[in-house]
Each structure stands twice: as structure tokens, then as C-alpha cells.
Amino acid sequence: MTDYPGTIAVTAVREAADAISAAHLFTYLVPETAEEAARLGVPERPPAYFALRAAPMGAVPWQVVLATFYNFSPRAVQTMAGAWDIAPPGQWQAARFTSVERAMDRVGVHLPAERIAEARSLLDPVVANADYAGKPLAAANAAVPLPADPLVALWQQITVIREWRGDAHLPVLADHRLGPCDCLVLHTATGRLPVPLARRTRMWTDDEWAAATNRLATRGWLTPDGVLTDLGAQAREDIETETDERCAPLWAPIGEAGTRRVTSLIKPIGEAFAAAGTYRLH
């Protein structure tokens, strides 16, 4: 990788993205999230996932959620229809914060107050100065009032950055002619996301999955039976690098040193959940 024009190396951007993702991802996997959703009256995981993650956008129709979440099939996202009738978005957001606080307490994420304050001193200007044009999920999360708990508030700022990168990633996928099912099939081919989990949660049919595999095989990115080729591995790395490059200006307010410092400050969050087995996907 090369340095982004300016002061921030793409390697620093990638490392920060990895730490941000690890510190955010647990919310979709921990039992506390399902328990809080059940208290609102939605015990099934798929509709609860969409309502909890989409809540910052307000009571938008499921089609808007589909547009912003990208790699889910319409039939998966449509399961959330009626979620706002069960509970308004504000209650879903509150439930999310409660589940995050409970989960971090359970696995022992107890960052010292000075560490949280330093992380906030770096992340807050990034969030405040970000360009939210074309970044709907990030913009919605940036507008969410921060909760009183300092650690959960830090997690919400991390969430803004995580969704900003995700929003920036979608046009890169489109530029590379990777549709929603195609990008998911390519991702599973790397081995980083188990196929059964991807199929179960994204709800693409056998025919849709096969068609996406065929399209990627035609491009030489997969073998006909879905194995990642060297060309496909390079293509996916190119996509990730292009996303890193688009994200580099996001970190400009704190520069490379600040970006690397954020990475080190928040790493214990992801490490605690990894040690608890949260990320053993199957």
C-alpha cells in the first residue's frame, strides 16, 4: 500500500477500520441484543437486527433500509415491516444502548476514564468534521444524542465512523460492478464469513446465489464451484484499498498519529469480545 496524499498512510486507515469494526461488531452477535429486542416484542433476530441498526434514520420504510444495507436480499429486509408499529425508533435506539452497556459489562470491558476521555478527544473531532454527503447511515448515527454512560457514548462515536466507512464502501462496490449478492458471495469466498451464516441472514435464494457465483466466475474472480482465485483475491483487496483511500480524509482532523492512537485506545473492546468467543461465527 502507498501513502494517501497528505499526512495519513492507507495502512493507518486500514488498521483503524479493523479496530473500529471489532469494537462495534459485537452488538449484532451478543445475547443481550436479542434479549432487549424481545423486551420490545420482537424476539426474532432478523427483524430486530434491521430495526436496531436502522433506528437512527427514524421510521423509514424497509425499502430505505434495503438501499442502505446493500448486501441483504429484499426478502430479508422486508421481515422488519411493522417494527416501527411495535416500538418507535427511539425505543429501539435506547434498547441498543442498553444491550451494548450490558454486553460490555458482561465481558469485562472496563476502560479507565482517562482512556475513554482520550479516545473521545480524538474521535469527536473526526465525527464533527466528517463530510456526510452520501453517507446516510453515518449521518443518522451522528445525529443520535449520546447516552450518559461514557463507554457507551464512546461506542456510539465508534459506530458513526464504522457506518461512514460502510457508506463509503458501497459506491466502490458499485463502481466495480458488484451487486448485493455478488459482493456477499465474494466475501464468503475469502473464508472470513461462513457461507451458512451469510445465506441464513441475507436470505438469497439458491438460484440467486448460483447466478452471482456464475457472474464472478465469468470475471475470473471465482472458479465455477465458487473457490476464490488469485485474480479475485486481488480484486477484493483493490476494492478494500480504494475504500481506505476514500476514508483517509475522514481522519484528517487528527492526522496519522491520532489515527494510530485511536486504534490502540479502542482495541481492548474488540479483544474482550474476541476472548469471550463472540466472534466465533458459524
Provide the pLDDT for residue 82: 92
Provide the pLDDT for residue 4: 40
Contact 188/182 with Cβ under 8 angstroms?
A: no
Q: Nine-digit cell at 124?
A: 469527536
> How many Cβ atoms from other residues are within 10 Å of residue 142's Cβ?
20
Tell whether 210 is covered by a domain.
yes
Question: What domain range is 243 assigned to?
Answer: 10-275
Contact 73/203 with Cβ under 8 angstroms?
A: yes
267: Cα separation from own chain's centroid: 16
Q: Nine-digit cell at 168?
A: 463509503
Provide the pLDDT for residue 129: 97
Tell whether 1 is covered by a domain.
no
Tell whether 56 is covered by a domain.
yes
Give me the tens of pLDDT residue by residue for the chain, a chain 282 residues long: 344 445 688 999 999 999 999 999 999 999 999 999 999 999 878 899 999 999 999 999 999 999 999 999 999 999 999 999 999 999 999 999 999 999 999 999 989 999 999 999 999 999 999 999 999 999 999 999 999 999 999 999 999 999 999 999 999 999 999 999 999 999 999 988 889 889 999 999 999 999 999 999 999 999 999 999 999 999 999 999 999 999 999 999 999 999 999 999 999 999 999 999 988 765
Tell whether 45 is covered by a domain.
yes
Tell whether 2 is covered by a domain.
no
> Total domain count for the chain?
1
Contact 167/200 with Cβ under 8 angstroms?
A: no
Residue keyed to cell 421481515: 79
Q: With 0.75 as the threshold, say if the pTM is over it.
A: yes
Distances (CA, A) of 175 to 1, 65, 242: 20, 21, 11
Q: How far apart are CA 121 and CA 6, in angstroms?
A: 22
| Torsion sign (Cα): 176, 177, 183, 185 | negative
Provide the pLDDT for residue 171: 95
